[in-house]
Each structure stands twice: as C-alpha cells, then as structure tokens.
Structure 1
Amino acid sequence: MKTFTMPGTDLTAPNVVLGLMRIQDKSDEEVRTLVRTATDAGITFLDHADIYGSATHGCERRFAEAMQLSSSQREQLIIQSKTGIVREDGPYFDFSYEHIISGVNGSLEALGTDYLDILLLHRPDALVEPEEVARAFDELAAAGKVRHFGVSNHTPRQIDLLKTAVTQPIVANQMQLSITHSPMIAQGVAANMQNLDQSIAREDGLIDYCRLNGITVQAWSPFQAGFFDGPFLGSERYPELNAVIDRLAAKYDVPAIAIAVAWITRHPAQMQVVIGTTTPERVTASAAGSDIPLTRAEWYELFRAAGYTVP
C-alpha cells in the first residue's frame, strides 16, 4: 500500500480509503471482518459522515459498537468524518457554528473517540458565513476534538471564501471522480477547443488549484459511471473501456477493479481513492491498485476508452 504525508498534516496516509456509509445493517462480525481486511491491506484511513445510516450518526455508532476500539487501536487509524448536511426537513446544508459543533460532538459520541483526525464540511452551503465556520474550527481545534480540517465537493472559489476567515489549512477536498466521471481532469486536457463540451471549464481548475494549495483530492464513487447510475466495470455501456481494463488487469496480474483504482492513484496529485464496498474481497482487490505503475500511454488509453477526447 502506497502511503504519503498529507500536506498540511502530520498524517502518514494510504492512498486508498475505506468509506463506511453502508454498514448500518451489517453485523458486528461483518463490520470487524470488513475493517480487518482493509487494515491488513494497509488501508488504515476510514471515512465516515454524520448522515450515513438510517439515522443521524447511524453508521458511526454501528462502527463503534462492532469494533470496540482500545485507545492503542484507535491510534493506529485515521478517522475522518463529515458534517453540514441536514436530512430532517430537508435536505439542506448548514455550516453554522451551532451545527458544526453539534455535528462533531455527535460524531465523537457515536464513534466512541475523543478526536477526529480530519473533519470535512459536507457539500457547500450557499448560506455559509466564513466567520461562523472559523469560530467552530477554532473551538474544535483548541479543544483537541479535531486535528485537521477539509471540505467535500467544494470549488476553488468556495474554498477561497472559507479561507478569508478560517486559519487552519484546508487539507482535503472529497470529490466524485472515476475514469468515466472526470470533468475536473478532462477539461484541462482539451482546453481551448472550439465546439467541444469537454473543453468547457466547469471545475475552475480544481485539480491544479488543489495541487498548488496542498489540498489532497479524495475521489468518491471511483467505480460509478456517473452520478449513482451504476458502475462502469463490466457494464455493456462501456465495452471498449472494459476491454482495455481487462487487458491491463491481465498484464499487471490484478483484478479489474484494481486498474480503476490505479487510474486515479497514478495521477501525480497524490489523490486518495475512497471505496464504499462492504465486500471484503473487493476491498482487497481495490487495494491492489494502490501502486500499479500505469504508463502514460496506458493512462491516456483508459481515458480515451472512457469517451474523452485527447486532441
């Protein structure tokens, strides 16, 4: 498992992350097996959110009940959670001081831990007041409840707005990214081309912005074709892409899913891939993509096979 020091932190992190949004109905043994499989593969970074589960903090509580972590076991993990989405009477987004503090305290109680390694703001709040966020972050940092801070699904300008008041480094931005859903990469490849939808700048140079500012991009839904419309792996909608994936999987002697991971981890931005599977075998298979040395030709071949233009 490839690891790196996340910019702005003292965390040595793997480039594959286990997302735990689907464990609400899993038994204790199923949760323990899933997490043990991940850690055995070197995936020591766990991603939560306060809205994951059938009730607020549901998956966080299920995790804590199943794992019963000792203090020494907790120290071996990087635990990240998110707050800012309100489901009751919603959905809507709330980055108020009160909601951030309440969300973190709820996560700490549910997880049975004294601190989060990273807190992400989950989806941009159109009504955000940066001073409110800064007050919450300052209080959480001073109390030792949150060690590092980041965002999810934010544009460069939204991050800049937060930075007008927030003094802590923004260390991560969790965004949807897969071979077939990569507008943040595709636009830059085809910049300045006329009459090509791909060349339209919708992400405002997000990848380059994050690289310039020491923000780790975390790729969620790395196997989804689009926005929760099914996976591209094995899909008849992507025959050319799957043919290339299968050929490369055979070359590197790994499962096909590892090539989907490798396409992201090969990028020099040192992105993390957030996998949401609850199948231990898929965790192990995904981990195999952590450090596959795809060549430039192979990386671009996958990109073209996914339907993107390389001028």
Structure 2
Amino acid sequence: MKMMPLERRGISNSRLVLGCMGLGGSWNSADPVTSSHIRQAEEAVEAALSIGITMYDHADIYKRGKAESVFGQVLKQQPRLREQIVIQSKVGIHLSDGILPQRYNFSKGHILHSVDGILERLGTQYLDVLLLHRPDPLMEPDEIAEAFTMLKLTGKVRNFGVSNMSPGQIRFLQSALPDPFVVNQLEMSLLRHHWVDPGILHINQKADLKDSFPEGLMEFMQMENIQIQAWGPLSQGRFSGKESDNATEAEMKTAALVQQIADENETTPEAIVLAWLMKHPACIQPVIGTVNPKRIIACKDAARQAEIMTREQWYTLLVSARGVNMP
C-alpha cells in the first residue's frame, strides 16, 4: 500500500485515527467528569493501541472540553504514552451559549487562547497537529499566519491543517502561511459517498448537486501531499449491524453486501466499510468515532482488506450505496 502523506512527512504512519469526541460523558458542561469516564477513555485507548492506532483526534469543543480532559488523565497515568502517539486537535468553533448562535472564529486571539486551553486539558506541552475546524467567512490569512507563527516558535504546535475546506479556501489561507497544511479532514463514508461524484457525475452529466462535494478536491489534496482524513467513516454503524427504522432500500442492500464480503473474507463489516475508503489512491485515513473497545478492535483488519479489495468490489459497493447505476 502507498505511503500516506502524513507518513511521507514523518508525522504519523497510523492507518486509522481514533476520534475522541465520544469521550467525557455528556455535552452539558455542568456535568462533572467521573472516574467511569476516565476508565472509558483508558479502555478506548488500550483497544486502539492494541490494533496499531497511534494517532488521536480531538477538538476543543468536544463535550465542551471534557473529552480532552479525560484523555489528559490517561496521559497523566501513563507518562510515557505521550511520546508514543500523535495528537491533533481543532479550534475555531464557538458553541451556542443559548444567547449567541454557534459561530466560527479564526482570530489570532481566539486561536492562541484555544490552544492554551487544549494543552492545559491534555496536560501536554505541544500538539503534533492543529486543525482549523470549519471555514470562517471572516478569516484573514495574515492574522492566522501570525497566530500559527507564534504557536510554532513557542513549540506549542508542530504542524497545521484544516477541516471541511475546499481547494479555494486552502489556497487562500496557504498564501500567507510559511508552512504547508498537512491535513484536511472531511466527512466521507460509504453513506456519505458524494466525494466520488465530482470526478464522475459532474462531467458532462445532469448531476443532482444537492449533496455536492468541492470540484477537484480529491485531486488537489493528492497533488499538494495533504492527508485526507475521513470523519464519520463508519456511518454510525448503518452498514455494520446497527438497526435503523429509517434505513433506505439502498442502505439495507449495501449493509447486506458489506456483510457478504466480510463473510467471504473472514473479517468484520467494519473492516470492509473502512477498506472501501482506504482503497482510494489518495490514501484516505479514516477517523473512527466509536469509543466502544469491541467496535474499535473490529476495525483491525481494515488496511489488509483495502489491499485485497478488488475494483469490482469497490464499484459494486459504490453503486449499491448510491442506489442507482453509474452513468
């Protein structure tokens, strides 16, 4: 299998990332972090490490900071673990407080303040990667560059990236930054398969653009050696055993097909769902959102399945998920 962009940059060779949004209990900031929440984090990290996951994804808003806090407790109890793993977090979203709406903020002051909070909650001196969480319409590249330069010079952040951004937005920001972005994190899965559409359905076709994906994004990421990370890659278990009252006919047929391929390959449905993403030449790196140890371990075989998945299987899964034939 090809080397991932992060691996080529010497940052990480972890084929999967553990997304930590599920840690820390409820989204109510008034609810305290308990010993059971810390134990949940320990078990999730243990399961992830057991299948070779060494990269962990956070954001300052996850459980309103509590996800990072419980992960920080895991690091505190295992001091040697920090140098064995890669930690990334995200900044830029203000959650609604009931008075003001949810909004985005890429101002220098907010970025610097947010990173200090992240480092304090995690109990670490640096982040391996910092991502700008969602595009801020008011973002100014020069101001962001000032913040990033300070974070780099003080050793608080080693690498930078973005999340949910288009090629145009990345070029706009990159024009003022001295260091290249190393990651762009996007929602991609067998359920949210619209990232395939621009290269097939938007060329000389009457495409349904209600779920459009930025034109040329996949090609741009590969040309710029930017790691594509897929959030939501397991689709909340829709294709790996979770029952849903509102599943479409296409989803039900695809779940059956995933199970069939998994049975034939003597593996798990989770591995097949992830392998479908990882088969792509862009070396997509799934960020699995489950913190259930059994489901984490069920993802173990994904990289091997990506290597052996045939083109025919890949297209069959795509057509099944789309619910209509290719043009």
- For the criterion TM > 0.5, the same-fold answer is yes
Q: Of the candidates 53, 57, 65, which is equivalent to residue 47 of structure 1?
A: 57
Greater shift, 255-264 or 58-67, is seen at 58-67
Q: 1:274 aligns with which of 287, 293, 299?
A: 287
Structure 1 stretches lacking a partner, 5+ long: none
Matches within 5 A, 1:62-141: 62-68=70-76, 70-87=78-95, 88=97, 89-141=100-152
Which residue of 1 is the match for residue 31 of structure 2? none
**Shift in alpha-carbon separation, 1:199–1:97, aligned structure 2, 3 A:** closer
How far has the Cα of 1:232 moved from its partner?
Answer: 4.3
Tell me which amino acid in the other structure corresponds to 1:310: M
Bigger shift: residues 232-241 or 24-33 = 232-241
CA RMSD, Structure 1 to Structure 2 (Å): 2.1
Task: Give 1:289 shift.
Answer: 1.1
Which residue pairs with 1:174 in the alignment?
185
- Preserved contact between residue 8 and residue 171 of structure 1 (Cα < 8 Å): no
Q: What corresponds to 2:44 in structure 1?
A: 34
Please report how far the alpha carbon of residue 250 of structure 1 lies from its aligned counterpart in structure 2 after TM superposition. 0.9
Q: Deviations over 1:142-181 (max 9, x none)?
A: 1111110000000110001001101111110000000121
The equivalent of 1:9 in structure 2 is: 9
Matched, 1:303 2:303: no
- 7-16 vs 88-97, greater mean Cα deviation: 7-16
The answer to whether the 8 Å contact 2:4/2:227 transfers is no
Cα separation, partners in 2 of 1:199 and 1:23, compared to 1, 3 Å: closer
Partner amino acid, structure 1, of 2:68: E
Q: Deviations over 1:78-135 (max 9, x none)?
A: 0000000011433100000001101111100110000000000000000000001100
- How far apart are residue 196 of structure 1 and its match? 2.8
Change over 3 Å in CA distance of 1:221–1:34 after alignment to 2? same
Of 11-20 and 150-159, the range deviating more from structure 2: 11-20
Give the Å deviation of 1:35: 0.2
Cα contact 1:258–1:288 (8 A) shared by 2 = yes
| More deviation, 287-296/266-275 | 287-296
- 1:190: Cα distance to partner? 2.4
Does the aligned pair in 2 maintain the 1:131–1:165 contact within 8 Å?
yes
Bigger shift: 118-127 or 84-93? 84-93
Please state whether the residue corresponding to 2:202 is helix, strand or coil.
coil
Distance 2:115 2:61 in 1: 12
Alignment-derived partner of residue 268 in structure 2: 255
CA contact (8 A) 2:23 2:67 kept: yes
Q: Tell me, which stretches of 5 or more residues in structure 2 are unaligned? A: 26-35
Preserved contact between residue 3 and residue 15 of structure 1 (Cα < 8 Å): no
Q: CA deviation at 1:67?
A: 3.7
Partner of 1:240: 253
C-alpha separation between the residues in 1 aligned to 2:313 and 2:223? 26
Task: State the percentage of identical aligned residues.
Answer: 37
Per-residue CA deviations over 1:256-289 (Å, capped at 9, x if unaligned) read 1111110011111011101111210100111221
Distance 1:291 1:180 in 2: 21
- Bigger fraction of residues in helix: 2
Distance 2:290 2:159 in 1: 26
Q: Is residue 2:161 matched to residue 1:156?
A: no
Q: TM-score, normalised by structure 1?
A: 0.92
- TM-score normalised over the length of structure 2: 0.87
